Structure 1
Amino acid sequence: MGASVRSSRSGNLPAEPNTFVGRAAELARIGALLESTRLLTLTGPGGVGKSRLALRAAHTAQTSFPGGVWLVELSDLQNADLLTNAVAEATRLTEQTLRPLLTAICEHLDDGPLLLVLDTCEHVLAECGRVVQELLARVPELRVLATSRQPLGVPGEHLLSLAPLPLGEHADAVALFTARAAAAVPSFALTDTNRIDVAAVCARLDGIPLALELAAVRLRGFPLDRLLEGLDSRFDLLVSPARPRLARHQTLRTAIGWSHELCTPLERLLWARLSVFAGGWDVEAAEFVCHGGPLDAEEILALLASLTEKSIVTRENDSVAGRYRMLDTIRTFGADWLEGLGEQDAVRARHLDYFRWIARQGEAEWLGPGQRMWAERLSVEHANLRVALEESLAAPEPEPALELTGTLWYFWFACGFADEGRGYLERALRRAPEHTPGYTLATWAHRLVTVVPDDVDAAESVSAAYVWLAQECQLPVSALPLTGASLAVRGESARSALLYGSNTQGPGGGGGAEFFQLLTLAVQAYLLAGQGAFERCAVVAERLRVDCATRGELWMRAWGDFFVALSGIGLGRPDVALRSAREALAAKWRVHDRLGAAAVADLLIAAEAAAGEPERAARLLGVGTRLWYTAGLPQLGDIETTVFRREYARHLRAALGDTGFTEAVREGRGLGPEAAIALALNGVADEVDL
């Protein structure tokens, strides 16, 4: 399936879920403040519409931020220590570096004016303040738009307190209620006859947007006069004579409580149990985690449909098919109800069991045709995996945490979450006895994600050695890009020993053992290439490709393609090099291996130059700079950092002239990651079929 690719770094904003209503003055104010203020925080009570307004404002401001507008949704984040990981993930920065992650983020974002939207900060307030303060200090062209019930407390912060919508027969509250009512009941329209009742409903709900939206959906089962009557009677039960009006937070809770009362007992039970999920769920997960007692698994799909009709849960149409989620305020209400039922521990335990099973299934099928599917599925379930990991670490026995953190080795290592994986593995290992199967697995996984590419001096020496080799062998290129390969494959024998100790065996059984066997072939190919034995390197790399193809595996096969391509350059076969390198790049991008993609892009520079395409090679020098930023190692994308890039810059500048070379590099560097991949694969930064 082809996907259009824009050349600008547009960001990651999701489509707006529905028509935005009202708040014209606030939108104008936000737009003006973002031009003059580096940190703007929208504050206000729950349900007042902070997140929705921030999303609308971010969409409106996109053209002012060529560096991108990036949304970091924090509502599902339970561990404040993972805030930087959440920012890295949202801004598409791969965590494959031992450097401080915040340093990598600052370098990654330091590329022109950009806007970072931090949504729902109040539960990780202190860490948000610390991270935002450092980002603003180190990224000069950054603007931050935050939403929080409390200020972040950062110097220079500008606060915009959001009030409920204005009331009155012609005010924004009535317009919002009318729009949502018409969406729920297409025959509904605001008329002179019903306008007074609509205004009364809005006044009863204090103009709180979430309460208005919940009430509008009730028109599916109640005429307007009955809806108003129901609100009056419900509120009268909770209002004391001394307090004729409810506080706004109590108004919202009362409105949610009224929606809760209109649910059937089984719908209420499912609502409570669904509150254990973070970041959404699919039907299979809901059936496993939420069944039990009076609630049969076979009933859950129908109950989900009913809760969707009532706007308690929403279906994500633009995401994985059949995926659902709840708004924060509604989920909190369900969590309180679950605790009141005394089921919290049991449902959380089932949630942990389900995601332990998911991790095991993914590990078993990782080296197979489902690899891309599992990379995408676990990325979608990342928030739930974090919940399960925290639950396993809180368990009295250490084995669940050891098993889960260790089993996820492929997610940490191959999908770009090495930094986060190290943190979880270290926490699990600290509280566990040695000499157990779980401890062995977690130790191996920790070594795998700790041997990462950070030694630029070593990279320089490898690259320099290849300049010498190219000159000695009179190869048709001035340097060969083994820097990226040595970093990404972890090919040095010393590093291999660090991973596997003195034994020749990898982890016992499972996908980890198979992965070790394939990694051994990749190491052999690397070492043969380092000796200039390109014929033998090609043979080993082809064996690696065949072994991976037999399994339907992509991640490691791409390294086989890489070394076949490298051998093609060394043997003077640029057609072989181009074909294999493009296959490697497409595979690395599909499975979210940004480090591997950057390394392969460097190889394509050499392949294009060898094929007599200096202008395309120069563009790829710029593309490589962009991709090394995405991988969190921008220094390896600097033309002056490694001998490989310096030599190719000299070679291509001579071929194209100063102006042609500079313009081609600038063009490649200015592309967003997707457009950069498209250019590398087919020579045009327009469309890529992955």
Structure 2
Amino acid sequence: MVASVRNGRTGNLPAESNAFIGRRSELAEISALLGTARLVTLTGPGGVGKSRLALRAAHTVRASFPGGVWLVELSDLKNPELLTNTLAEATRLTEQTLRPLLEALCEHLDDGPLLLVLDTCEHVLDECARVAQELLAHVPELRVLATSRQPLGVAGEHLLSVTPLPLGERADAVALFAARAAAAVPSFTLTDTNRTDVAAVCARLDGIPLALELAAVRLRGFPLDRLLEGLDSRFDLLVSPARPRLARHQTLRTAIGWSHELCTPLERLLWARLSVFAGGWDVEAAEFVCHGGPLDAEEILALLASLTEKSIVTREGDGVAGRYRMLDTVRTFGAEWLAGLGEQDTVRDRHRDYFRWIARQGQAEWLGPGQRMWAERLSVEHANLRVALEECLAAPEPETALELAGTLWYFWFACGFAEEGRGHLERALRRAHDGGPEHALATWAHRLVTVVPDDVDAAESVSAAYVWVAEERQLPVPALPLTGASLAVRGESARSALLYGSSAQGPGGGGGAEFFQLLTLALQAYLLAGQGAFERCAAVAERLRADCAKRGELWMRAWGDFFVALAGIGLGRPDDALVCAREALAAKWRVHDRLGVAAVADLLVAAEASRGEPERAALLLGAGTRLWHAAGLPQLGDTGTTVFRREYARHLRKALGEDVFAEAVCEGRELSPEAALRLALDGVLDEPGL
């Protein structure tokens, strides 16, 4: 029997970037609350350290949550309607279903004790409250740890107010300042000589962690005594006789404002313009969006380095792949400055146009050797794409929204964001009149992302609507391979053959047209396999693989591997089939196609069974349940749902006996998606971390 394995769903917590200082009592209280309370919300003003405390607490308690600890960062989310999509993305649920996504998310998270960390809820508070309430009602073993400037207001919510760090020469505020100062200036050491001045700096900043960290960086240009003098003179301007001490939000704002004053005029201008980004940016994006007027594109890299030195922005990654981010409080200050300059609309338009260009570049190169790079790049830029789409949808002309949402067809369809893509496309189509290339593109893209296994009728309806539009407007009329494929999945091969055609064109040609040509070959292979014509299936699949190889394309090439493997099983060549199926599985995982991963995993069940490895096949049958669950279609992972899984379950049960079969399937079902992938690729049961 295969050795027992652990679930391995550890979650997505990032490593902590620096040492955590203090907060022992708060950490103990959070741990205790999460043992009994379903929802714990850390409240407090901006900059007080709620997010950092929540991350440390999540790391501290992760062993208590075998279902995983999942961080959902909400500061970059602008549209509350996309909260559930953001949760699905963070918890690795692929949006390949037309069921309500929240319903699918509840099923996805209902997998043992699990902690969800909702960070920065205040700007989407009502939707956070609604979704948290639904999740808690339908996922019994779920705990939620939220951070917000105000309570969510959900029944059963337990509040913990996060206050500034304690002050005093031996207190946590001094320890934090000293640690960050030593990181900024390695020669700095906290001594009995300078301890009093450090404590005075901390008192001047009310012990607010973000203010302390910004001030510590100032030691690169000021000795400690000058830093204290600067704080005194800067803050005294805001002290009134009626209020001898500054309110905490004034303290933080003043600390950020002082950092702003110490920047050069060009650094301030770049800071303001960078505030339009969501989820970070790279140098190319900053140069395109932020140049203009006195700010040349060639200066931006050096200015970014200077802002990084001042801790206004943070850098992640190395070399050309490096990205920059800005803390939410700092970005808000920059956005207010940008509005004051009167540049808000201009810079937002540049941001929108840059990401329209990125979408077009991705479409043009999708069927090429850069496909994996584009899948990863657009996933990284997801928050910025959402902002650009919202700008397009708010514009008076509907064409830009149609064009951007339609151009991203490959991202919605192939990278696991079908549900979100449908939402954007439907909003864009509702605003537009029929006609024009943008409308045709958006309608075609909507049809593409509507064809998912659990709503074929809707796909047929959209397909018929597109044919009518195309004929009325004299636009290219594609064949209907997607609808045909979905019908074939349901066993309706006769109807799928009637809908199938030999000419496949996407609106406007280009990437869409090439994609449909490849998709036509994939459907031919599928139908031939369904008819038992395995030699012809293999020939068509080999042609598909060759056409993809010419382009360096990965996503559709994997379906060619899939059908070659399927034909190999039918022709009695299971060893060859296993090799091809593993190649397909690795490729599908690389481009984040979890639906494809689940489908290929089912094929591996057949390959292993045909090779005389029934126990391993049963383990993979159970693992497939987990992979279908991760793809957002848990019903397709049920051994009794599809003909394929039902028949293989019957075959393997007979070969192994009921007890051994049930134990193997149960073991496979307990694997994480990553561990299931390892098993399928090389037979090694291991922890995640691919």
In 2, Cα distance between the equivalents of 1:427 and 1:373? 29
Look up the equivalent residue of 1:398 and give its one-letter code.
Answer: P
Task: Give the structure-1-normalised TM-score.
Answer: 0.93
Structure 1 residues 172, 330: closer, same or farther in 2, change over 3 A? same
> Which position in structure 1 is the counterpart of 2:478?
none
Give secondary structure in 1 for the equivalent of 2:237: helix
In 2, Cα distance between the equivalents of 1:558 and 1:335? 44
Kindly provide the CA deviation profile for residues 58-88 of structure 1, in whole angstroms up to 9, marking residues without a partner as x. 1111111111000000000000000000000
Look up the equivalent residue of 2:124 and give its one-letter code.
Answer: V
Look up the equivalent residue of 2:392 and give its one-letter code.
Answer: S
> Which position in structure 2 is the counterpart of 1:613?
613
Task: Give the structure-2-normalised TM-score.
Answer: 0.93
Tell me if the contact between 1:623 and 1:676 (Cα under 8 Å) persists in the aligned partners: yes
Structure 1 residues 364, 404: closer, same or farther in 2, change over 3 A? same
Tell me if the contact between 1:488 and 1:595 (Cα under 8 Å) persists in the aligned partners: no
Structure 1 residues 335, 191: closer, same or farther in 2, change over 3 A? same
> Which position in structure 2 is the counterpart of 1:131?
131
Structure 1 residues 446, 211: closer, same or farther in 2, change over 3 A? same
In 1, Cα distance between the equivalents of 2:77 and 2:70? 17
Look up the equivalent residue of 2:207 and give its one-letter code.
Answer: G
1:166 and 2:171 equivalent?
no
Look up the equivalent residue of 1:526 and give its one-letter code.
Answer: Y
Tell me if the contact between 2:451 and 2:486 (Cα under 8 Å) persists in the aligned partners: no
> Which position in structure 1 is the counterpart of 2:143?
143
1:300-311 map, 5 Å:
300-311=300-311
Structure 1 residues 91, 361: closer, same or farther in 2, change over 3 A? same
> Which position in structure 2 is the counterpart of 1:580?
580
In 2, Cα distance between the equivalents of 1:586 and 1:332? 42
Tell me if the contact between 1:451 and 1:490 (Cα under 8 Å) persists in the aligned partners: no
1:533 and 2:533 equivalent?
yes
In 1, Cα distance between the equivalents of 2:6 and 2:341? 51
Kindly provide the CA deviation profile for residues 293-322 of structure 1, in whole angstroms up to 9, marking residues without a partner as x. 111111100100000000000011389821
In 1, Cα distance between the equivalents of 2:573 and 2:498? 36
- RMSD (Å) for aligned C-alpha atoms: 2.4
Structure 1 residues 540, 500: closer, same or farther in 2, change over 3 A? closer
1:91-130 map, 5 Å:
91-130=91-130
C-alpha displacement at 1:413, in angstroms? 0.4
Structure 1 residues 202, 540: closer, same or farther in 2, change over 3 A? same
> Which position in structure 1 is the counterpart of 2:187?
187
1:186-265 map, 5 Å:
186-265=186-265
Tell me if the contact between 2:96 and 2:417 (Cα under 8 Å) persists in the aligned partners: yes
C-alpha displacement at 1:187, in angstroms? 1.0
C-alpha displacement at 1:640, in angstroms? 2.4
> Which position in structure 1 is the counterpart of 2:570?
570
Tell me if the contact between 1:488 and 1:599 (Cα under 8 Å) persists in the aligned partners: no
Tell me if the contact between 1:58 and 1:69 (Cα under 8 Å) persists in the aligned partners: yes
In 2, Cα distance between the equivalents of 1:119 and 1:319? 29
Look up the equivalent residue of 2:92 and give its one-letter code.
Answer: R
Q: Which has the higher contact order (CA 8 A, sep 6+)?
A: 1
Tell me if the contact between 1:44 and 1:162 (Cα under 8 Å) persists in the aligned partners: yes
> Which position in structure 1 is the counterpart of 2:673?
673
Moved more, 142-151 or 317-326: 317-326
Give secondary structure in 2 for the equivalent of 1:42: strand
> Which position in structure 2 is the counterpart of 1:67?
67
Look up the equivalent residue of 2:210 and give its one-letter code.
Answer: L
Structure 1 residues 215, 405: closer, same or farther in 2, change over 3 A? same
1:208-607 map, 5 Å:
208-317=208-317, 321-454=321-454, 486=486, 505-607=505-607
Give secondary structure in 2 for the equivalent of 1:238: coil
- Structure 2 unaligned runs (5+)? 459-482
In 2, Cα distance between the equivalents of 1:647 and 1:494? 22
Give secondary structure in 1 for the equivalent of 2:48: coil
Tell me if the contact between 2:484 and 2:499 (Cα under 8 Å) persists in the aligned partners: no
In 1, Cα distance between the equivalents of 2:618 and 2:224? 66
C-alpha displacement at 1:508, in angstroms? 2.2
> Which position in structure 2 is the counterpart of 1:478?
none
Structure 1 residues 276, 373: closer, same or farther in 2, change over 3 A? same
> Which position in structure 2 is the counterpart of 1:476?
none
Tell me if the contact between 2:504 and 2:517 (Cα under 8 Å) persists in the aligned partners: no
C-alpha displacement at 1:652, in angstroms? 1.6
Tell me if the contact between 2:116 and 2:142 (Cα under 8 Å) persists in the aligned partners: yes
> Which position in structure 1 is the counterpart of 2:474?
none
Tell me if the contact between 2:456 and 2:486 (Cα under 8 Å) persists in the aligned partners: no
C-alpha displacement at 1:497, in angstroms? 10
Matched positions, count: 662
1:83 and 2:87 equivalent?
no
C-alpha displacement at 1:242, in angstroms? 1.6
In 2, Cα distance between the equivalents of 1:193 and 1:149? 38
Structure 1 residues 281, 236: closer, same or farther in 2, change over 3 A? same
Structure 1 consecutive aligned stretches of length 4 or more whose deviation exceeds 6 Å: 487-503, 687-690
Structure 1 residues 486, 561: closer, same or farther in 2, change over 3 A? farther
Structure 1 residues 550, 35: closer, same or farther in 2, change over 3 A? same
In 1, Cα distance between the equivalents of 2:502 and 2:448? 15
Moved more, 98-107 or 233-242: 233-242
C-alpha displacement at 1:688, in angstroms? 9.1
- Structure 1 unaligned runs (5+)? 459-482
Structure 1 residues 667, 425: closer, same or farther in 2, change over 3 A? same
C-alpha displacement at 1:500, in angstroms? 9.9
Look up the equivalent residue of 2:438 and give its one-letter code.
Answer: G
> Which position in structure 2 is the counterpart of 1:14?
14
Structure 1 residues 456, 254: closer, same or farther in 2, change over 3 A? same
Give secondary structure in 1 for the equivalent of 2:625: helix
> Which position in structure 2 is the counterpart of 1:648?
648
Structure 1 residues 310, 504: closer, same or farther in 2, change over 3 A? closer
In 2, Cα distance between the equivalents of 1:327 and 1:500? 52
> Which position in structure 2 is the counterpart of 1:472?
none
Structure 1 residues 108, 456: closer, same or farther in 2, change over 3 A? farther
In 1, Cα distance between the equivalents of 2:629 and 2:325? 33
Moved more, 488-497 or 655-664: 488-497
Give secondary structure in 2 for the equivalent of 1:168: coil
Give secondary structure in 1 for the equivalent of 2:433: coil
C-alpha displacement at 1:505, in angstroms? 3.4
Structure 1 residues 358, 601: closer, same or farther in 2, change over 3 A? same
Kindly provide the CA deviation profile for residues 609-654 of structure 1, in whole angstroms up to 9, marking residues without a partner as x. 0011111101101110000000011111112222322322222223
> Which position in structure 2 is the counterpart of 1:639?
639
Structure 1 residues 530, 177: closer, same or farther in 2, change over 3 A? same
C-alpha displacement at 1:331, in angstroms? 0.2
Give secondary structure in 2 for the equivalent of 1:12: coil
Structure 1 residues 75, 490: closer, same or farther in 2, change over 3 A? farther
Tell me if the contact between 1:452 and 1:488 (Cα under 8 Å) persists in the aligned partners: no
In 1, Cα distance between the equivalents of 2:596 and 2:26? 44
Structure 1 residues 569, 206: closer, same or farther in 2, change over 3 A? same
In 2, Cα distance between the equivalents of 1:498 and 1:435? 28
In 2, Cα distance between the equivalents of 1:498 and 1:47? 62
Structure 1 residues 499, 485: closer, same or farther in 2, change over 3 A? closer
In 2, Cα distance between the equivalents of 1:650 and 1:375? 38
Tell me if the contact between 2:504 and 2:516 (Cα under 8 Å) persists in the aligned partners: no
Tell me if the contact between 1:167 and 1:202 (Cα under 8 Å) persists in the aligned partners: yes
Structure 1 residues 484, 493: closer, same or farther in 2, change over 3 A? closer
Tell me if the contact between 1:205 and 1:251 (Cα under 8 Å) persists in the aligned partners: yes
